[in-house]
A and B are shown apart, each in its own frame.
Chain A
Amino acid sequence: MTTVAAKSAKTGAKPATMAQALTRAMRDAMAEDPTVHVMGEDVGTLGGVFRITDGLAKEFGEDRCTDTPLAEAGILGTAVGMAMYGLRPVVEMQFDAFAYPAFEQLISHVAKMRNRTRGAMPLPITIRVPYGGGIGGVEHHCDSSEAYYVATPGLTVVTPATVEDAYGLLRASIASDDPVVFLEPKRLYWSKADWSPEAPAAVPGIGKALVRRTGTSATLITYGPSLPVCLEAAEAAREEGWDLEVVDLRSLVPFDEETVVQSVRRTGRAVVVHEAGGFGGPGAEIAARVTERCFHHLEAPVLRVTGFDIPYPPPMLEKYHLPGVERILDAVARLQWEN
């Protein structure tokens, strides 16, 4: 703790939320690059329903931070045209499940335009999607829709789990010449960390996973909203005598296979954890790849702890659905410890 405090005093870091870091990332990108335009429902005067675009319309004007009509296909479709003309749109989809009307634009145009035009017309669009549950939201407000995005070639899919990553990865996404689906874990919006917008830490860019906790017994592979749950599980596991490593993927596409494989080859056991359903979820692909690449290092089959394969439950039932510490520890216990 002493080290952290000393570092904070030096850099002027103070507690900041993920929401503030995201806002700051857009603000800095807009200040640096006049082609960056923010658009979406309620992003202007209101500053977004989660206040992530707070103050942008005031600082940069409504032409740079625009309240659009309420139509997601229209928002993304017009963003395509703006990007064709050389702008760098940052689109906000208000909630995970509200992004679905824009899927045709996303899949048929946004993801494919570079390919269709042999690289002549890439589309540098960032699509911000608040996703996941755990906030007591009613139906259509808590989906983990990442499986749809990662199954679409041409899209980069990124999700931060920490305050500094929220800033760093969003800046990298806006700077990317490819379209990026930027999944914001909405239950972490108000998570805090010591962070300074004046001296943001240099974090690795898109496509690099990070080992958030080193350990020797088994590897928990996770991302976004499930990272804090996995870190908590790793702490609790110490009582059982397990020393768990936790890998934060940070980006699902590209997938940093090497970091994952190196970790699992070291520990010999792995559990993939995410809120999205298990069947056809990202964990299925990750487990398959880990098995292919680490087969001779594995002491047990790769397990998954995911949301159930059900429509997202109503608020009073979501605690039974979301992967929690106990369910993760139960999975770890099933990793064939006694031969």
Chain B
Amino acid sequence: MTVQELPGAGASHRSTPPPAWRPRTDAAPLLPDAEPYRVLGTEAADRLDPALMRRCYAELVRGRRYNAQATALTKQGRLAVYPSTVGQEACEIAAAMVLEEQDWLFPSYRDTLAAVARGLDPVQALTLLRGDWHTGYDPREHRIAPLSTPLATQLPHAVGLAHAARLRGDDVVALAMVGDGGTSEGDFHEALNFAAVWQAPVVFLVQNNGFAISVPLAKQTAAPTLAHKGVGYGMPGRLVDGNDVAAMHEVLSEAVRRARSGGGPTLIEAVTYRMEAHTNADDATRYRGDAEVEAWKAHDPIDLLERELTARGILDEAGIKAARDEAEAMAASLRDGMNADPVVDPMDLFAHVYAEQTDRLREQAAMLRAELEAEDQA
């Protein structure tokens, strides 16, 4: 029933509501599917591109090995901390794979794997977590924004960058990554709203991994799904199985295509699971049981793809071995890179605060230099 059809609405004592009362867009096409979109294990898998899927498989195996190596490095004291993406590799690698050279990735602190999958040197990607500096790479060189620790704050950056590129007539899409907890932040709301109002070429990828450290999604939101949140901003929300790399690649590619062709932003909720604790410093047994974790093991992103591809003859033993060998080589190189002690220069503390150092900082730098010289002489 529209407003005009309401009983009594046409009565002469009451004027017709102004046009602003009517919806600006049709909400129905913006709504997500009832179930997360899947490809693997469904009829849609008949259309899989074998070459692309073999690449996805190699990337997934590499990603899993990267996670294992990074966690091992925390145990050896080579990394201060590592937030694992074991179980979430399909989201991480698909996000990197769908972007073109000129596009930008806006990762959160958990998304070093996406940055590595985009081509960033793993040692540079882990600089923040090793602790020798904050951002270990030039964001403009790789078109990867600094890993953002304050949740969702990188989302408006993605919107602004994509908007700027469009104003300049450049073909650039920004893909911004955030977790389920991050969707509660004000910056999530503001970024989505700006993106939709400006029709900025942005893709928002929410990895719903079930937990914000210890807090489950039920305590985070009462929305039907996180993908539904897109409707409120006037952008489509897509719900995807985040452990199904074929589905992730397809949905992300569509959203990137849509953004690139001037169709505006898309919100994607990838339903996945954080198989490990929040970081190596967290104890997940305090807030979730083994049964839940075990249930998700049956839905492992690598196993799902491996089963599908071997059953279809797209992947064989030799292919599996090649992927694993490649992953081992990456891990060995990461180990070597991280085993070299980073060289830190205390005077760097003052080097990049302002373009031109202030008197105040010059004075403090001189004090530190004198302390260091005294230490050397002692």
Contacts and interface: CB of A to CB of B under 8 A. Distances in A.
Interface in B184-237: 186-187, 190-191, 193-194, 197
Interface stretch (B7-15, B243-251, B347-355): B347-355
Interface in B152-175: 153, 155-165, 167-168, 172, 174
Contacts of B280: none
A118 B135 contact: yes
B115 to A, nearest CB: 14
A114 B190 contact: no
Contact of A73 (B141, B165, B186): B186
B339 interface: no
B150 interface: yes
A63 B165 CA distance: 12
A74 interface: yes
A78 B197 contact: no
Interface residues of B, number: 42
A116 interface: yes
B277 to A, nearest CB: 25
Contact of B140 (A101, A120, A255): A120
B353 A257 contact: no
Contacts of B351: 118-119
Contacts of B358: 207, 253-255
Interface residues of A, number: 47
Nearest to B160: A81
A260 to B, nearest CB: 12
B90 to A, nearest CB: 27
A177 B353 CA distance: 12
> Considering residues B156, B158, B187, B353, which has the most beta carbons from chain A within 10 angstroms of its beta carbon?
B156
B163 A78 contact: yes
A226 to B, nearest CB: 23
A77 B191 contact: yes
Contacts, number: 140
B145 interface: yes
A83 B146 CA distance: 14
Given A108-B153, A114-B354, A121-B138, A81 B164 contact: yes
Given A71-B194, A77-B157, A115-B353, A104 B135 contact: no
B290 interface: no
Interface in B131-149: 133-135, 138-141, 145-146
Interface SS majority for chain B? helix
B150 A81 contact: no
B157 A81 contact: yes
B161 A81 contact: yes
B135 A77 contact: no
B24 interface: no
Given A68-B194, A77-B191, A85-B165, A108 B150 contact: yes
Given A71-B194, A118-B135, A178-B355, A77 B187 contact: yes
A116 B159 CA distance: 21
A223 to B, nearest CB: 17
B359 interface: yes
A251 to B, nearest CB: 10
Contacts of A156: 354
Given A77-B190, A120-B139, A120-B140, A82 B160 contact: yes
B338 to A, nearest CB: 19
A115 B352 contact: yes
A117 B156 contact: no
A84 B145 contact: yes
> Considering residues B133, B155, B160, B165, which has the most beta carbons from chain A within 10 angstroms of its beta carbon?
B160
Interface of B: 133-135, 138-141, 145-146, 150, 153, 155-165, 167-168, 172, 174, 186-187, 190-191, 193-194, 197, 348, 351-355, 358-360
Given A81-B159, A84-B139, A114-B354, 16 more contacts: A69-B194, A73-B186, A77-B156, A77-B157, A78-B157, A78-B163, A81-B157, A82-B164, A84-B140, A104-B187, A116-B134, A117-B138, A118-B135, A120-B139, A207-B358, A257-B360
User: A-B pairs with the 10 shortest C-beta distances?
Assistant: A81-B160, A77-B156, A74-B190, A78-B160, A81-B161, A85-B164, A81-B157, A116-B134, A120-B138, A254-B358
